[in-house]
Amino acid sequence: MSALTSLNGVRWIRENLFSSFGNTALTLFGLAVVWLVLVPAIDWALVRAVWSGDSREVCLDPAAGACWPYIEARLGQIVYGFYDKAARWRVDIVFVLGAIGIAWLMLPRLPSKWLVAALLLTVYPIIVFVLLSGGIFGLDVVPTSRWGGLLLTLLVAATGIVTSLPIGIALALARQSDLPVIKWMAIAFIEIVRGVPLITLLFMASNLLPLFLPDGMTADKLVRALVAFSLFSSAYMAEVVRGGLQAIPRGQTEAAHALGLGYWTVTGLIVLPQALRLVIPGIVNTFIGLFKDTTLISIIGFFDLLGVIQSGNADPDWATPNTAFTGYIFVGAVFWAFCFGLSRYAGAVETRLAHADRGQK
């Protein structure tokens, strides 16, 4: 049995890796890449890495690889930013509640999804706001300038994701409207926002928006950034949704109208459910893009996940040749896990929906 498997193995190797002269050359090239890039990378991150210690001294050995004690020392900041240490339990509650809610929605078996979704979109944001900013129920006030790290990254991403879908749908519908004013305003908004870099919109939010507010009315810097971020993601979402709307055959709308249904009923019950289902991959891709784009708020002075590590890398207490590499690799791995997980989950949902469709027919 084992002789047979090893024979099959040899045959597989011959057919897939050394079938011809060109193929052999490619394989050798691939092996060179593995040897020169992947092996040293793993060697650096795991084998030669320093795993424990409490100061930079342990990482100063010239042969040392990644300096993981640095991440350990910074973990508090990486997760909470500069949030008051005594109040970090409030952030923990926010994280746990959010994780339970999202896990509930993602696991197919669990019941009453609509209720949980409704709670997540209405009650949960209020809880988050109260817990994070404080000021009532005897909770100390924590100004938004102290929020940071993973907390801020997730907050910005979640706000962008939650607001972009409804605004994006509204914009996409407006773009198809029969009223020229609404249509052209939607087109202008979408195309302008999509045509400029996000960073200019964030600059606008931090420099320009205050000028447009009347006296005595000030908006928190974080709120302004969130507004810019939401508008930006809505414009991209609008284009994704429009793709779905255009894929729905005209006959669907006409048939619904013939049954005597009005615009809102037709849109809400016939067109949108089908259109959104078609563009699930596009929606998830937009979410992933958004999640990555949250890092841009570090440019306008916030300490999100990237901002925190960027300031940590400059800390002389941890200055070693490997500090910057370790910091970036760690944050990169966190982002990678979120984005890759999201795209894999979306792939699974897509397959499930496709199977469900086939089952019905």
In the complex, which residues of this chain contact other proteins (CB under 8 A)?
Answer: 16-17, 19, 23, 26-27, 29-31, 33-34, 185, 192, 194-200, 203-204, 207-208, 210-215, 288, 292-296, 298-299, 306, 310, 313, 321, 324-325, 328, 331-332, 335-336, 339-340, 343
Cβ nearer to other proteins, comparing 104 with 325: 325
**Residue 284 is encoded by which pair of tokens?**
């998830």
Residue with tokens 């991959």: 281
How far, in Å, are 158, 172, 283 from residue 276 at the CA level? Answer: 19, 12, 8
Least separation in angstroms between residue 133's CB and other proteins is 27
Cβ nearer to other proteins, comparing 274 with 313: 313
For residues 151 and 92, is the Cβ–Cβ distance under 8 A?
no
Distance CA(305)–CA(314), nearest Å, equals 15
For residues 272 and 233, is the Cβ–Cβ distance under 8 A?
no
Give the count of beta carbons closer than 10 Å to the beta carbon of residue 102: 13
Distance CA(112)–CA(288), nearest Å, equals 27
Cβ nearer to other proteins, comparing 123 with 354: 354
Least separation in angstroms between residue 26's CB and other proteins is 5
Least separation in angstroms between residue 266's CB and other proteins is 26
Least separation in angstroms between residue 72's CB and other proteins is 19
Least separation in angstroms between residue 274's CB and other proteins is 23
Burial class (CB in 10 A: 0-12, 13-18, 19+), 85: exposed
Residue count (the chain): 361
Least separation in angstroms between residue 284's CB and other proteins is 12
Give the count of beta carbons closer than 10 Å to the beta carbon of residue 360: 6
67 phi, psi to nearest 5 deg:
-105, 80
Residues 6+ apart with CB under 8 A from 209: 219, 224, 227, 228
For residues 83 and 91, is the Cβ–Cβ distance under 8 A?
yes
Cβ nearer to other proteins, comparing 252 with 310: 310
Least separation in angstroms between residue 245's CB and other proteins is 19
State CA 296 to chain mean position distance: 13
Cβ nearer to other proteins, comparing 177 with 310: 310
